[in-house]
Chain A
Amino acid sequence: MDSSDAVREGLIPLLPRLRRLARALAGQVADADDLVQIVLERALARATQWRPDSPLDKWVFAIARNAWRDELRARGRTAKLFASEEAGETVADPTGTQPAQQLELAAALATLSPDQREVVALVLVEGLSYDEAAALLEVPVGTVTSRLARARTALQALLGNDA
């Protein structure tokens, strides 16, 4: 089995977690699954770059984070994923299948800076340790914790449970 087979087979059980991470980053089901599709294409194309002695999940999560950043850049909007003209679409889930609670959190996350949002997605949603998130983002651990603290303050104010 070559590395591409190993990556392909290894990614299958990771798909649900990859979709969860993408949902936290991109917000809507369709956007998130489009992101997952791009991530899978990149992962398969770069399969030879994966070292079998390193965790595949962290490797593919890093690809996901970078792909999400690329999409944000391509859109020319670094602050918010959902611009105001799309706000209606964000609230009205066209499929009617995305839970209201998830849409509420996605809308709150969309107001965070990308720096903060990715830390929330990796640590609080995906459950990575501070060290793991710092390694994945290639920043010091202190940067992860300070971004996380600011993100929490903002989220608590938005979600109205900072009383």
Chain B
Amino acid sequence: MNPIDDATLQAYVDGELDAAARARVDALLAQDPAQAHRVQQLQALNAQLRAAFDPVLDEPVPAHLTAMLQPRTTAAATPTSLAGRRRTHAAPHHRPRRWMLPGAALAASVALLAVGLWWHAGNGLVRTHNGESYAAGALVRALDQSLASEPDAQAPVAIGLSFRAADGHICRTFTIRTPPSRSGLACRAATGWALPVIAPMAPVESGELRQAASDLPPTVQAAVDARLHGNVFNARQERAARAAGWR
């Protein structure tokens, strides 16, 4: 009887053999318990690797990665389906990269920097602290004080929906009405209102700008979906959260 060499066994467990070769190996394995045991070990290792890394496929993709693939000029409107796309786990926060050397980190920051420059060219509504973006100026005042249940059509910032994220922090979506109009998500942190995502609003046909929460840019919508755990605040809950200092 022909012994099965290791290369053939490996090809067998990796599905690289054609039907005829596979049948030959099956027949030989039936006669050779030691080799059959070896095949089981190889298959177990394959299964272990898949079990460890396949769950990544089900993780929400971090918003800053999705944002890199959005068209630069217009953000396509997508229908809101919070309930349908709700996630129970918060997306991993983007942390300062200690892994990269400065050069690589610089290159990696180009897209974010471009967004940042465009954003900072606006009107001082964002500050950065340790590389993270935070609300500043009128944006802080709106996030601290404004209620979606009491909309003010003249206010420079409109608040959309508020909710408690899976990590326990309160998050609120907002739209800045002054051009260039932008929408984003703000989440209450110890150091202020962190801004995990900001994105331009697409002009509608009339030349006006979308301001409703239902017309959030896809990247903002994705960031909301990744964090939402439970229900969006109603008017009473929103007011109570403001009274509690958004804690």
CA distance A125 to B14 in the complex (A): 11
B26 at the A interface (CB under 8 A) = no
A31 at the B interface (CB under 8 A) = yes
Min CB gap A7→B, angstroms = 9
**B7's contact among A105, A120, A129, A145, by CB below 8 Å, is which?**
A145
**B56's contact among A20, A129, A148, by CB below 8 Å, is which?**
A20
CA distance A75 to B103 in the complex (A): 11
CA distance A109 to B50 in the complex (A): 13
Q: Are A37 and B92 interface neighbours, CB within 8 A?
A: no
- B70-119, CB < 8 A from A: 70-71, 89, 92-95, 97, 99-101, 103-104, 107-108, 110-111
**B16's contact among A24, A97, A130, by CB below 8 Å, is which?**
A130
B190 at the A interface (CB under 8 A) = no
Tell whether A34 pairs with B11 under 8 Å between CB atoms, given A71-B104, A101-B51, A161-B44: no
CA distance A1 to B6 in the complex (A): 49
A69 at the B interface (CB under 8 A) = no
B42 at the A interface (CB under 8 A) = yes
- A64-104, CB < 8 A from B: 70-71, 74-75, 94-95, 97, 99, 101-102, 104
Tell whether A125 pairs with B53 under 8 Å between CB atoms, given A31-B99, A37-B65, A149-B7: yes
- Interface residues of B, CB < 8 Å — how many? 47
- B49-75, CB < 8 A from A: 49-59, 61-62, 64-66, 68-71
Q: Are A16 and B61 interface neighbours, CB within 8 A?
A: yes
CA distance A23 to B110 in the complex (A): 22
Q: How many contacting A-B pairs (Cβ < 8 A)?
A: 132
Q: Please name all residues of chain B whose beta carbon is closer than 8 Å to the beta carbon of A125 when the two chains form the complex.
A: 49-50, 53
Q: Are B56 and A8 interface neighbours, CB within 8 A?
A: no
Q: Specify the chain B residue showing the minimal Cβ separation from A9.
A: B69
Q: Specify the chain A residue showing the minimal Cβ separation from B89.
A: A97
CA distance A70 to B105 in the complex (A): 13
Q: Are B69 and A11 interface neighbours, CB within 8 A?
A: yes
- Interface residues of A, CB < 8 Å — how many? 53
CA distance A16 to B27 in the complex (A): 39
B48 at the A interface (CB under 8 A) = yes
Q: Please name all residues of chain B whose beta carbon is closer than 8 Å to the beta carbon of A41 when the two chains form the complex.
A: 68, 107-108, 110-111
Q: Specify the chain B residue showing the minimal Cβ separation from A105.
A: B52
Q: Is the interface of A mostly helix, strand, loop or mixed?
A: helix
Q: Please name all residues of chain B whose beta carbon is closer than 8 Å to the beta carbon of A136 when the two chains form the complex.
A: none
**A38's contact among B44, B52, B108, by CB below 8 Å, is which?**
B108
Q: Please name all residues of chain A whose beta carbon is closer than 8 Å to the beta carbon of B107 when the two chains form the complex.
A: 38, 41
B123 at the A interface (CB under 8 A) = no
Min CB gap A105→B, angstroms = 4
A138 at the B interface (CB under 8 A) = no
Q: Specify the chain A residue showing the minimal Cβ separation from B40.
A: A161
Q: Please name all residues of chain A whose beta carbon is closer than 8 Å to the beta carbon of B54 when the two chains form the complex.
A: 20
B41 at the A interface (CB under 8 A) = yes
Q: Are A161 and B68 interface neighbours, CB within 8 A?
A: no
Min CB gap B130→A, angstroms = 15
Q: Please name all residues of chain B whose beta carbon is closer than 8 Å to the beta carbon of A124 when the two chains form the complex.
A: 14, 45-46, 49-50
Q: Specify the chain B residue showing the minimal Cβ separation from A75.
A: B101
A56 at the B interface (CB under 8 A) = no
Which residues from chain B sit less than 8 Å from chain A, CB to CB? 6-7, 10-11, 14, 16, 41-42, 44-46, 48-59, 61-62, 64-66, 68-71, 89, 92-95, 97, 99-101, 103-104, 107-108, 110-111
Cross-chain pairs A/B with CB under 8 angstroms, 24 sampled: A5-B71, A8-B71, A11-B69, A16-B58, A19-B59, A19-B65, A20-B56, A23-B56, A26-B99, A33-B65, A34-B100, A37-B108, A41-B68, A41-B111, A71-B100, A75-B101, A94-B95, A95-B93, A106-B52, A124-B45, A124-B49, A130-B11, A149-B7, A155-B45
